[in-house]
Amino acid sequence: MSTHPANCLTDRHLLLFGAIVQCYARYELLIQAIIVHVTGSDAATVLLLMCDSDFNTKRRTVLDLLRHRSIPMDQYDRVGEYLMVAHTHTGLLHDIAHANWVLSASSDSVQPDWILHPRESIKPLRDDPLAPDKPYIEREEDKIAYTLEDLDDIRHRLEENRRWFSDYLLVAHLVSKSGLLS
């Protein structure tokens, strides 16, 4: 595995980045298949309407549509849960597409270089003012450095969840078999 001279990313990093991006594309196709099925529209129309929308916009759109169409609440909740798995990693997706990557302090992981040159901004309190004696616990979305194993775990989690989501959509009759790509 060669390291590219311009940065610290190896071929394996790039392979995992590509797999993660492709997985989001497949989530977006599932979302569009739901919209096609629920609205009775044709796929080309939905693709045209959604082509400039990112994952989070498509996610909000399909959830709003399902609520508007008054599907059973358990189905709405399940769709939301499946999409939440992908939603938790959209920061990583954004960084893959828009950040230069550098070695982190631990040197066995990489991180977007914006972390080393943060833009001036206000930051929320990290400690709970009602429980100052409790330590702050890092959340998944706070993760900023990734080992190859981290990236592979995220890829695996996204792919597995997307397969389960696809299966659920068929069983719940929220998509037609012809509207799904495996």
Residue 131 is predicted with a pLDDT of 55
Residue pair 51/127 in contact by the 8 Å Cβ criterion: no
Residue ranges of the chain with pLDDT lower than 50? 1-6, 119-127, 136-141, 182
DSSP state of 102: E
Instruction: List pLDDT tens digits, range 52-72.
Output: 999 999 999 999 999 999 899
Give the span between the Cα atoms of 159 and 59, in whole angstroms: 17
Domain definitions of the chain by residue range: 14-93+159-179
Instruction: Give residue 104's pLDDT.
Output: 78
CA distances from 113 to 26, 102, 104 (A): 28, 6, 9
Q: 182: Cβ–Cβ under 8 A, 6 or more apart, which residues?
A: 166
Q: Report the distance separating Cα 144 and Cα 103, nearest Å.
A: 11
* CA nearest neighbour of 178 among 66, 72, 42, 27: 42
The 10s digit of each residue's pLDDT in 91-121 is 999 999 988 888 877 667 888 877 665 544 4
